[in-house]
Amino acid sequence: MQVKSSGLRITLYDHAYETFAIQYLASTLKKHGFSTEVFFDCSMNKDYLDQDFFLTNVLSLLPDQLARGILDTNPDVVGFSILTVFYPEISKIMRCLKSRKPELIIIAGGPHCILAPSQILENPDIDFIFRGDADISLPMFLNELRSHSIEDIKTFSSERLPGVANMFDGKMIDRGFGPLLENLDEAPFPEKDAYYKKNPSLRLMYTASCSRGCIFTCTYCNSNTLRKIYKECNQNYFRVRSVENVMEELRYVKAKYKPKYIMFLDNLFASRKEWLRKFAEIYKRDINLPFFCETNPNVHTTETIDLLADAGCAIVQFGFQTPNENVRREILHRYETNARITELVKRAKERGIFVCIDHIANLPGETKEHLYEALDFYSGLRPDWINLGFLQYYPRAEIIDIALARKALAEENISSIYRGEGQTSFRLVSKSSLGMFYRTLPFRFFSAFKLPPGLGKRINKLIDSSATFSRLVSSFASVFIYASRIFFAFTDRRDFLVRHHIIRNLYVVRIILMEKYLKYAG
């Protein structure tokens, strides 16, 4: 079968959030002259899937409704970016697409394709996957598709189809990893119009990316896995755009979309002092909008925190994960000290920045003592917010071996991790031996870092001593935490993220009700 040689139509699917991969690939394909659409699925954020089945079902389009929406764009090729946790959901959409239009070519990329290619290619609905960056390899692939049959392409060499893998004669043809775009300034600015057209509230907060990859070695993180993979190919996965290029984008979007805030979604924002110094000066002068950034404490000092504050940083999010230095070093391979994080948080707060800390619970070998230690530490540190997450195992992550050695995982859990079914969400974690403790943990954390220290300690003691109070907390903690986060968002001017989240989701509700119960009903 050969796809029509001219007018090849590509639709890229995106969901819930604005995915940079899709936004950059869409603009790259347009630059290469391909007719490209983005189908933006506004369903309720699917990372809540496991948290609230009721809301997700009511506020998500069904896979067949999504397939119909995608097919309305009349594509020859449909592309998906797959995060591990979303693979089961996405495969349902693919199934519906293929059953409605068997000749459709389905391609996929993103972390799960890179990490679990053979498991993904077992899915007969997927024709090709892309491993690694596709800024260079996707246009090459589509050019081949313009002039060759898909059966021919399936046998092509890695010179013609770098980074592409597919099944042929029952075997996986693995062509390695896609070449990296070494100079990120060469990428066109990401596609935003399709997103803003569908959900106009998104234009209030422009999301931007100044870098790709990371230099650190955290055992639970994909970026570390990718860094190692590309190192083996003698390529440097961590790349940073020039300040000039970032500013050119921001000046353009400021004039075009008039955003109120900027959200920088890098793994490692401003990892180099000279870059940040230049950024701070030009950003303040030309952009001057409050911004959010996420970064690693190891690349910052009080001096760079000052630069962030001078530039107009309103919210900074530090990956920290646990205050137990041994656990952090031995299990997570993170080498920052508590002294450093304390110094940075203090300085950022003094400079008026809203400080969020990431904490990961349910680490291999975690005990109640570790959690009490964390409560104590946070009650002294007093960040403005703590994002409490529960460890999620991703394929090929080093922490899998550590967890196996410490018997926190069993061999039989591994295949479900590779199938994208290994979620350790709050619901599942709460069934573990520390279950009750974990169920009360969000409230315990909240009491420790947000309430006056004496009160926080008393509440934590009460949870320990009274089974009734503990049950009450575990039942109502999430509602309470959400409500208080909303309260703080509307009383703390800097916390624009949550305010934006609420506005965005109000639009989402309207869009979904229209699409689910009117446009694609029946």
Whole-angstrom CA distances from 197 to 37, 201, 202, 219, 518 are 13, 9, 9, 39, 19
Residue 218 as a binder of ligand SF4 (CB under 6 A): the answer is yes
Sequence-separated (6 or more) residues with CB below 8 Å from residue 55: 44, 48
Q: Which C-beta is closer to ligand SF4: that of 216 or that of 264?
A: 216
Tokens of 364: 């291999």
Q: Which does 257 bind (CB under 5 to 8 A by kind): ligand B12, ligand SF4, none?
A: none
**Which range in 56-64, 69-77, 183-191, 217-225 contacts ligand SF4 by CB under 6 A?**
217-225
User: Three-state DSSP class for 457?
Assistant: helix
Question: Which of 82, 214, 246, 345: binder of ligand SF4 (CB under 6 A)?
Answer: 214
User: Three-state DSSP class for 447?
Assistant: helix
Amino acid at 275: W
Whole-angstrom CA distances from 385 to 179, 186, 347, 518 are 39, 37, 16, 39
Residue 520 as a binder of ligand B12 (CB under 6 A): the answer is no
- The backbone torsions φ and ψ at residue 514, rounded to the nearest 5 degrees and listed phi first, read -65, -45
Q: Which does 296 bind (CB under 5 to 8 A by kind): ligand B12, ligand SF4, none?
A: ligand SF4
Give least dist CB 276 to ligand B12, A. Answer: 18
Q: Give the integer Cα–Cα distance in Å for 159 and 413.
A: 37
Quickly tell me which residue has 């403790």 as its tokens.
Answer: 437
Give least dist CB 336 to ligand SF4, A. Answer: 10
Give least dist CB 164 to ligand SF4, A. Answer: 26
Q: Give the integer Cα–Cα distance in Å for 244 and 194.
A: 26
Taking each helix axis from N to C end, the angle separating 137-147 and 20-31, rounded to the nearest 10 degrees, works out to 50
Question: Which of 56, 84, 199, 224: binder of ligand SF4 (CB under 6 A)?
Answer: 224
Give least dist CB 127 to ligand B12, A. Answer: 11
Tokens of 469: 């109070």
Question: Which of 60, 222, 317, 321: binder of ligand B12 (CB under 6 A)?
Answer: 222
Per CB under 6 A, which of residues 370..399 are in contact with ligand SF4?
none
Nearest-CB residue to ligand B12?
Answer: 109
* Site mask for ligand B12 (CB under 6 A), range 108-147, x = bound: xxxxx--x--------------x--xxx--x---------
* Tally of residues, the chain: 522
Residue 81 as a binder of ligand B12 (CB under 6 A): the answer is yes
Q: Which C-beta is closer to ligand B12: that of 29 or that of 489?
A: 29
User: Three-state DSSP class for 216?
Assistant: coil
C-beta separation of 129 from 108 below 8 A: yes
C-beta separation of 148 from 39 below 8 A: no
End-to-end Cα, the chain, rounded Å = 33
Positive or negative, the CA dihedral 16, 19, 24, 29 is: negative
Residue 27 as a binder of ligand B12 (CB under 6 A): the answer is no
* Site mask for ligand B12 (CB under 6 A), range 164-203, x = bound: ----------------------------------------
**Which range in 93-101, 214-222, 271-279, 513-521 contacts ligand SF4 by CB under 6 A?**
214-222
Q: Which does 430 bind (CB under 5 to 8 A by kind): ligand B12, ligand SF4, none?
A: none
Quickly tell me which residue has 């509602």 as its tokens.
Answer: 479
Question: Which of 36, 65, 84, 223: binder of ligand SF4 (CB under 6 A)?
Answer: 223
Give least dist CB 48 to ligand B12, A. Answer: 9
The neighbouring-strand residues paired with 205 are 261
Whole-angstrom CA distances from 28 to 14, 144, 265 are 16, 16, 20
Taking each helix axis from N to C end, the angle separating 496-514 and 467-491, rounded to the nearest 10 degrees, works out to 100
Per CB under 6 A, which of residues 262..321 are in contact with ligand SF4?
267-268, 296, 319
Residue 83 as a binder of ligand B12 (CB under 6 A): the answer is yes
Per CB under 6 A, which of residues 409..448 are in contact with ligand SF4?
none
Per CB under 6 A, which of residues 264..293 are in contact with ligand B12?
265, 267
DSSP code for 299: G
Per CB under 6 A, which of residues 46..75 are in contact with ligand B12?
46-47
Per CB under 6 A, which of residues 316..355 are in contact with ligand SF4?
319
Tokens of 393: 């195992």
Give least dist CB 28 to ligand B12, A. Answer: 8
C-beta separation of 204 from 500 below 8 A: yes
**Which residues contact ligand B12 (rule: CB under 6 A)?**
15-17, 19-21, 24-25, 46-47, 79-81, 83-85, 107-112, 115, 130, 133-135, 138, 209, 212-213, 221-223, 265, 267, 394
Interaction site with ligand SF4 (CB under 6 A): 214, 216, 218, 221, 223-224, 267-268, 296, 319
